[in-house]
Structure 1
């Protein structure tokens, strides 16, 4: 209440109480301080009780979350029940379960609250064969504009079933309204489960990766009424070198076709022959991964370009940097203002699950990390394209990233280090805590 309008009696009473309280505090000395401390302790105990047990309320907190609130790092996936953990430049898909990861990524990219955020169709792939699943990512962009979800060869996981019901695929207008494409070898029981959901379905069957990849190439050509001349050639024996291609094919029309150290499978040769010696083949891997003898055989089908590096980590970086100016193929990321998607090297199923991050939003190539460190090659690459501002950080551009995997497999420090590397900096070297100087 404004003192100018306070009645005289109230002002006198207030002054009397203040004088009395001051006198009591002076008389009791440190007793007042002890009361204050005890009161603070009581409130702290009460707050801790509410935080940890709920004390009759609806709020419950796990022991892992309690550790987080106490300032300790989270050390298990159970510590945080949210499927996402976000820092300012990076968002983690917080699970190592590939079925759940694919669903979470589907929810992230296709939230579905408005019509344009619902997919046309969904790709379903069995999780037993990484090469088959990777080839199927070519259908994410076209004709589906939709996610890739995992199934088992003999059943439809409950998480995947629930996501299909949530998504309610609209049906691909360029593909006769097909809502689901099942790729790979699966039991008839799985097909029947999908049918029971009332979804219009196509099946691209097969259990050999080279044959399935060639069948996907034919399917794409039939639906789109054109066959891409450019293809990516990868080894079905070397997933860590092959998988960086998954984000590109989820984003663009080029398919993957498979070779191995023994040579070119017949299905791959047949697919290349359909390009009538006009194929442009981008080889991922050094001669240790795909021997020169194999590339010499490929040359009869058209032009061969090799993108090679010594390690899987460096291979992913080399592909992220690569650009063919003649065809426009390749990410060509050598300047600031881009997005990346990080996965622990060796986790093939998570690497495939995150492929939609290259299709919508801030289109992202795949880069590998280790579970307990950022590889030096990754550090150097991300640092080389760090954004810098002249006068103000609002100038941009900005870098960002996704990270797929729980904190048990990719420790929290990795997210922190990458988040810091992505941060925009001043050209002057001044930190974000320093005084900003603006040009006049």
Structure 2
């Protein structure tokens, strides 16, 4: 039975605060003079332990996430480069998250079949990417199919553009793997293998690849596409392979075939919610792979299972700030398994709540995606409480 928690959260509007909160010794870039275009009146809504990206439009969400993490007020907080990919193709957008950390240190922003939306163009102007030193000064990487006018639109911004072409997800995943290795000078031995047909089981990988070098490669339930085979062969038989998802999305037959290319470990839960939790808690002690989040003092990124492109827009939350794995929730509140997981993370204090540590969660989606009551419940579950039990703030 789902536990009902009284809601006492107070919402705060953070838009102007977050946009200018970071300081440094470098002079402002000048890009702050370019105002971003957004139709979201309240981009951020916060409680004491949560911050909501207050839109369910993936293009707008990607812009707000970018504004949250890259304030672009100094050289220190401008991205090196930005990924642009089509908002209608989740498979290609998901694997492009591998470029968020390196070489880009930058967000994913979205294009459409019609070109580059005004919100995305305005955000590119505001960010004014520095150019990735390890990638020949590239400022924008186009990934996958693009509308014919995209490159013309980008020329007006005078940005150096590179392109990873292709329209087949497994082939684009391989191309990104190769691109990353060239830019970084090293091919990661470990890879994540996920289903290209089941985003709800594969998407937890996106936050990890935005944080660490391991790529996401694709399979179907019963087959390994040739591009994935070729990417694995590049590891010379010594790949460390992590399958994400249960046998119903990646079969045992595929698992056996993958063993030809190296060691194979399956990370899975019996349903979508437990699958994401399994990935958030997994840690391979032999190489450090995995979040291993099982104790208080962490951040989570919460979305509903039907928010596929929002999850990709929010992937940079695992790269900067309070690094966050993806956890799925429900519109009306926390599923029992997620409630139980968050209870294991709940901070406890001995003498004073000022001792810390503290938890936090990003929520991505408006109140039609995740209700206000659900945000309040999440906020309460993240709150620090006395180890002895009782009122968490009695006497404080």
- In the alignment, what sits opposite 1:216? 176
Of the candidates 221, 226, 235, which is equivalent to residue 195 of structure 2? 235
- In the alignment, what sits opposite 2:334? 374
Q: Secondary structure at the match of 1:188?
A: coil
Shift of 1:430: 3.2
Structure 1 position 324 matched with structure 2 position 308: no
Which 5+ residue runs of structure 2 have no aligned equivalent? 1-38
Alpha-carbon distance in structure 1 between the residues aligned to 2:92 and 2:379: 33
Alpha-carbon distance in structure 2 between the residues aligned to 1:80 and 1:98: 12
- In the alignment, what sits opposite 2:111? 151
Of the candidates 164, 179, 193, which is equivalent to residue 153 of structure 2? 193
Aligned residues: 358
Shift of 1:371: 1.1
Alpha-carbon distance in structure 1 between the residues aligned to 2:138 and 2:288: 30
- In the alignment, what sits opposite 2:86? 126
Shift of 1:152: 1.1
Structure 1 position 421 matched with structure 2 position 389: no
- Partners of 2:300 and 2:360 within 8 A in 1: yes
Kindly provide the CA deviation profile for residues 204-225 of structure 1, in whole angstroms up to 9, marking residues without a partner as x. Answer: 0111100000000000011111
Shift of 1:194: 1.3
1:337-356 equivalence runs, <5 A: 337-356=297-316
Of the candidates 94, 99, 106, which is equivalent to residue 139 of structure 1? 99
Alpha-carbon distance in structure 2 between the residues aligned to 1:92 and 1:136: 24
- In the alignment, what sits opposite 1:81? 41
Kindly provide the CA deviation profile for residues 219-269 of structure 1, in whole angstroms up to 9, marking residues without a partner as x. Answer: 001111110000000000100000000000000000000000230000000
**Runs of 4+ off more than 2 Å:** none
- Partners of 2:139 and 2:160 within 8 A in 1: yes
Kindly provide the CA deviation profile for residues 162-199 of structure 1, in whole angstroms up to 9, marking residues without a partner as x. Answer: 00000000000111100000000113311221122110
Of the two, which has the highest radius of gyration? 1
Structure 1 position 410 matched with structure 2 position 361: no
TM-score under structure 2 length normalisation: 0.89
- In the alignment, what sits opposite 1:25? none
- Partners of 1:153 and 1:185 within 8 A in 2: no
- Partners of 2:91 and 2:196 within 8 A in 1: yes
Across the aligned residues of Structure 1 and Structure 2, the Cα RMSD in angstroms comes to 1.2
Q: Secondary structure at the match of 1:212?
A: helix
- In the alignment, what sits opposite 1:387? 347
Alpha-carbon distance in structure 2 between the residues aligned to 1:185 and 1:330: 31
Shift of 1:373: 2.0
Alpha-carbon distance in structure 2 between the residues aligned to 1:87 and 1:153: 36
- Partners of 2:60 and 2:119 within 8 A in 1: yes
Structure 1 position 280 matched with structure 2 position 235: no
Q: Secondary structure at the match of 1:237?
A: coil
Which structure has more relative contact order (CA 8 Å, sep 6+)? It is 2
- Partners of 2:281 and 2:292 within 8 A in 1: yes
Shift of 1:344: 1.0
Alpha-carbon distance in structure 2 between the residues aligned to 1:159 and 1:86: 23
Of the candidates 284, 287, 298, which is equivalent to residue 258 of structure 2? 298
Alpha-carbon distance in structure 2 between the residues aligned to 1:412 and 1:81: 17
Shift of 1:374: 1.0
Q: Secondary structure at the match of 1:293?
A: helix
- Partners of 2:384 and 2:392 within 8 A in 1: no
Alpha-carbon distance in structure 1 between the residues aligned to 2:267 and 2:354: 36
Alpha-carbon distance in structure 1 between the residues aligned to 2:41 and 2:270: 39
- Partners of 1:126 and 1:133 within 8 A in 2: yes
Which 5+ residue runs of structure 1 have no aligned equivalent? 1-78
